[in-house]
Structure 1
């Protein structure tokens, strides 16, 4: 009996010690939780941390240099141009006087200043031909064609040549008895026509040069867009018996729609602001003066920088308006062919 009593007392003592340790651990956990809650209350969750601040600041550090260049060489000159358009500044004198909207009134009331926009019609027609031709060649050369790399180089080569050099080359190409007349003579067609001597033939010739000049760039854009279309779609179309025309209509055309929209916008804006080729080849003579050539002459030949600035602002607004209308008519929706 004494042995059993001592055994029972030992068991009770062990249970008491286990219960004491359990209560101590629970108290320790409670104290740790309280201290954690106190520390959480001490540091607000919204306080910025150094790592988070660095993540927010790093992109702006990379954007600082391009944004500075953009503001300095783009937005600041545009702001100055708009300011000059309300003055009579001649571009030389340090003095200039505010004239209000007189320059804009002169632009819209003088018929000769706005007649130059008719010349842009030739370049608009040329841009349509250029886009169609570039899309045609890009579609053909996107498939397996013999010597296709050679033809790609031939089409893109004019885009690598300096525009001034192109202007001088075609100036001799279209002169009387020049290369063009010689080529026509090989086919039995002899003519003494002055290709740059009349407004219609001169503008048609200059528009043709612009087609050759910018065809390669549009060709490369279309070719890259076509090659980005998944090849599985062409294989599935061939298994279904679709020909080249159906592949173009239902796969290529929808797949390159964003690039096609961008090309149309660039072509229209380029047609309205044509300058390089007509200025080098004719200088705006024989009815080939474009709006930009006229603006340059107003500023540097007639010393009417205020009027020229107003003309440049009008051209900028017209291009923005045309771009906005195109984007509204043909929205750039996401294309999903898969």
Structure 2
């Protein structure tokens, strides 16, 4: 007896059950639920204080009295007509040079330690360790390093230089000494940024360069630098803004006295020592605008590279 087919070839395949449709409103609101807390904290602790600072810059508030008389652009006019308030920007040049030296050193060490080298993990830890320390602690440590007859003078005596140098008291040496501390303090940050960017370059590119007989200098010039150019640009922005807004190291080590007073230290003294909160707010606004302007110019000169879309 012949067996009959249970299904014919022309029978249609079973239909899949369609997925339940998602509501457009739920899909729109889900990202904002995750962003709600960070956005609230950002607005509360960043944008609201900045708005208050801008409003204070148009008043003569002393920081204590409840009365705030509106003076318009009077604080800005006083700021730009008193040269001594802008002469402190010359101190930032020392830190600006130090930031470029720091970037060069960090790029050099990151490039060297990206190749196969004995004890390279130890050297990585030694270079990054200063950035883990608190800035105030670093400043106190270097107070003993720079004091007359201290650690630095003791090292110089080993090389035959027997002299007590006033590293923090000599107007010609104080900013050089403080800038040197900032290089030691922040070298680890740029080093880690550069090392991570270099290690993200595909290994096949390095292998191909080695097979073609390229030297390490050629690899650095034609492969590493073009590949990490956005990170170098970011480090330059951070270095320039940091040079303009340096505060903790000179404030702890010298109190901003003499030739070591920076623009931020001067702003804080105007606010809390001379009770000129309106003028100090105007100084802070000028510094903020200067940093934003320099960042914009740097972005225009070195545009961000974006991957090509097909």
TM-score under structure 2 length normalisation: 0.91
Q: What residue in structure 1 maps to residue 281 of structure 2? A: 309
Question: C-alpha displacement at 1:52, in angstroms?
Answer: 1.9
Gaps of 5+ in 2: 1-20
Question: C-alpha displacement at 1:116, in angstroms?
Answer: 0.3
- Whether the 8 Å CA contact 1:299–1:305 is kept in 2: the answer is yes
Question: C-alpha displacement at 1:50, in angstroms?
Answer: 5.6
Structure 1 residues 177 and 237 mapped into 2: Cα distance closer, same or farther (>3 Å)?
A: same
TM-score under structure 1 length normalisation: 0.84
Mapping for residues 1-338 of structure 1, pairs under 5 Å: 51-334=23-306
Q: Which runs of 4+ in 1 moved over 6 A?
A: none
CA distance in 1, matches of 2:171, 2:72: 36
Range with bigger deviation, 219-228 or 197-206:
197-206
- The CA RMSD measured in Å over matched residues stands at 1.0
Question: C-alpha displacement at 1:334, in angstroms?
Answer: 2.8
CA distance in 1, matches of 2:217, 2:151: 38
Higher helix share: 1
CA distance in 1, matches of 2:185, 2:165: 24
Question: C-alpha displacement at 1:110, in angstroms?
Answer: 0.5
Q: Aligned with 1:94: secondary structure?
A: coil
Q: What residue in structure 2 maps to residue 30 of structure 1? A: none
- Whether the 8 Å CA contact 1:87–1:306 is kept in 2: the answer is yes
Question: C-alpha displacement at 1:193, in angstroms?
Answer: 1.8
Q: Aligned with 1:199: secondary structure?
A: coil
Deviations 1:249-306 (A, max 9, x none): 1110000001000000000000000001000000111210000000000000000000
- Whether the 8 Å CA contact 1:196–1:286 is kept in 2: the answer is no
Deviations 1:68-88 (A, max 9, x none): 001000000000000000000
The count of aligned residue pairs is 288
CA distance in 1, matches of 2:303, 2:205: 24
CA distance in 1, matches of 2:49, 2:251: 23
Deviations 1:88-113 (A, max 9, x none): 00000111100010100111110110
Q: Aligned with 1:188: secondary structure?
A: coil
Q: What residue in structure 1 maps to residue 4 of structure 2? A: none
Q: Aligned with 2:88: secondary structure?
A: helix
CA distance in 1, matches of 2:203, 2:49: 47
